[in-house]
Amino acid sequence: MCDSEIRSDLLIPRLGVVTDIRRDTPDVKTFRVNGPSGGVCFSHMPGQCAMLSIPGVGEAMFSITSSPTNKEYMEFSIKKCGSLTEWLHDMEVGQQVAIRGPYGNAFPVEAELKGKDLLFIAGGIGLAPLRSVINYVRYYRDNYASVDIVYGARSMDDLVDIDEIRNEWIGRGDDVNVHLTIDRPQEGWDGNVAFVPDYVKSLNFPTTKTALICGPPIMIKFVLKALQELGFDKSQVYTTLELRMKCGIGKCGRCNVGAKYVCRDGPVFRCDKMEEMPDEY
C-alpha cells in the first residue's frame, strides 16, 4: 500500500529501503537507506536522529550518520547491542524498513559554529553523529576555520568508517587534521596509543576552539574534564545525550530529564546548559 493513503501522524513511519550494508567493525555496520523511489527519506540537519523500525521486532532512535549535503541516500552506523540491532545486522540489502523523523535539534552548524575553529572528539560508535557534522563542515569548508578531529576506539578494528577517514578526511588535503588513537598497542598500528581523554590533553589544543564530543558517557565525562584542564569553558563544548526514546517528539515521557526531553530539546546539548539538568542521563 502506498504511504499517501495513510492519515499522517508523526508516530506513523514511512518506508525506506536498505540499499547498501557495510561492516565497519566487528559489531558496527553502516546501513544505506533510500526512499522507496530513491533519494533520501527526508531532509535533516547534522546531529538529528530518525526512528528506524522493523515491524514486529522493534523501533529505536538512531542518529543520522550521513550529511544533509548528501541528497542521494541516508546512512546509519549501528552498533549491535539489542534485539532490533541484532535483526538489522542480520538483514540483507533490499530489506524495507519503517522510518520516521527527523527528530531532535542539530549541532548549530549554521549559527554558533560558523567561523569557529572546530575540534571534533569521538570515541567508538560515537563517531556516528559527528560524521554528519564533519562531512557537512567539509562540504561548506569555507564557512569554518580550522578543523581537528580526534577519534579513538578500543582497537584499530573498532574504528568506524576508517576507509572514509583515510581516503576522504585525511587524503583530500582540505585542511582537516585527523588524530587517531587506540586504547592499547596492536600489531599493524603505528599510530598513537592512548585513551581519548589523555590524547586530547596531550595534543594541548588552544582554547580558541569549539569542541563537539560524542562517545560513551564515561569518555564524554573525562574528555570534558581534560578540556577544562586545558582551559576550555563548558560553553565551548557540545555533546549529545542518548536515552531510551519511544515517540521522538517529547510526549511519551521516556527521555525526560529535568525540564528537558532529550528527543526534542536534544540530543545536542551545550555542556554549560546541561548543568541546569539533574544528573540523570
Partner 1 sequence: MMLKLSIEKMGELFQRLAEGRKLYLPLDRGGQVDFGPWTPEAKVRLDRLKTIKSAKDFFFPQTENIVSFKRQGKDISIIENRDAEEPFVVFGVRGCDARSLDVLDRVFLCDPVDSFYKARRENGVVVSMACSEPEETCFCSIFGIDAADPQGDVVTYIIGDFLYWDERTDKGRALTETVKSLFSDASGDSSLVERSRGEIRDIVSRLPLCSLSLEGFDGSALKEKFGSPLWSELSQACVGCGTCTYVCPTCQCYDIQDFDTGHGIRRFRCWDSCMYSDFTLMAHGNPRKSQVERFRQRFMHKLIYFPANNDGMYSCVGCGRCVAKCPISMNITKVIKALGVEVNV
Site size for partner 1, by CB under 8 A? 48
Q: Name the region of 142 (left: φ>0; alpha: ψ -120 to 50; beta: rest).
A: alpha
> Which set of grid coordinates corresponds to residue 227?
578540556
Q: Are 141 and 109 in contact (CB under 8 A)?
A: no
Buried b (16+ CB within 10 A) or exposed e, 46-71: bbbbbbbbbeeeebbbbbbbbbbebe
> Which set of grid coordinates corresponds to residue 206?
588552544
The span from the CA of 98 to the CA of 51, in Å, is 8
- By the rule CB under 8 A, 194 interacts with partner 1: no
Question: What minimum distance in Å lies between the beta carbon of 84 and partner 1?
Answer: 9
- By the rule CB under 8 A, 81 interacts with partner 1: yes
Sole binder of partner 1 in the list 94, 173, 185, 188 (CB under 8 A): 94
- Say how many C-beta atoms besides its own lie within 10 A of residue 84's C-beta: 18
Of 134, 108, 109, whose CA–CA distance to 120 is shortest? 134
* Contact stretch for partner 1 (CB under 8 A) within 94-102, 145-153, 182-190, 228-236: 94-102
The span from the CA of 154 to the CA of 59, in Å, is 28
Sole binder of partner 1 in the list 89, 154, 251, 270 (CB under 8 A): 251
The span from the CA of 24 to the CA of 253, in Å, is 33
> Which set of grid coordinates corresponds to residue 88?
538489522
Sole residue written with cell 573498532: 158
Residue nearer to partner 1 on the CB measure, 84 or 203: 84
Q: Are 238 and 271 in contact (CB under 8 A)?
A: yes
Residue nearer to partner 1 on the CB measure, 87 or 189: 87
Q: Are 17 and 3 in contact (CB under 8 A)?
A: no
Q: Interface mask (CB under 8 A) for partner 1, residues 20-59, using x and -?
A: ---------------------------------xxxxxxx
* Contact stretch for partner 1 (CB under 8 A) within 68-76, 149-157, 199-207, 272-280: 272-280
- By the rule CB under 8 A, 92 interacts with partner 1: yes
Element housing 90 (H / E): helix 83-90
Restricted to residues 148-167, the positions that interact with partner 1 (CB under 8 A) are: none
Question: What minimum distance in Å lies between the beta carbon of 249 and partner 1?
Answer: 5
Residues 6+ apart with CB under 8 A from 48: 63, 64, 101, 102, 103, 104, 105, 106
Question: What minimum distance in Å lies between the beta carbon of 111 and partner 1?
Answer: 21
Question: What minimum distance in Å lies between the beta carbon of 96 and partner 1?
Answer: 4
Question: What minimum distance in Å lies between the beta carbon of 154 and partner 1?
Answer: 15
* Contact stretch for partner 1 (CB under 8 A) within 7-15, 40-48, 142-150, 162-170: 7-15
- By the rule CB under 8 A, 252 interacts with partner 1: yes
Sole binder of partner 1 in the list 140, 231, 258, 272 (CB under 8 A): 258
The span from the CA of 230 to the CA of 53, in Å, is 42
* Contact stretch for partner 1 (CB under 8 A) within 126-134, 182-190, 193-201, 257-265: 257-265
Can you give the binding site for partner 1, defined by CB under 8 A? Answer: 1, 3, 5-15, 53-59, 81-82, 85, 91-92, 94-98, 242-244, 246-247, 249, 251-254, 256-259, 276, 278, 280-281
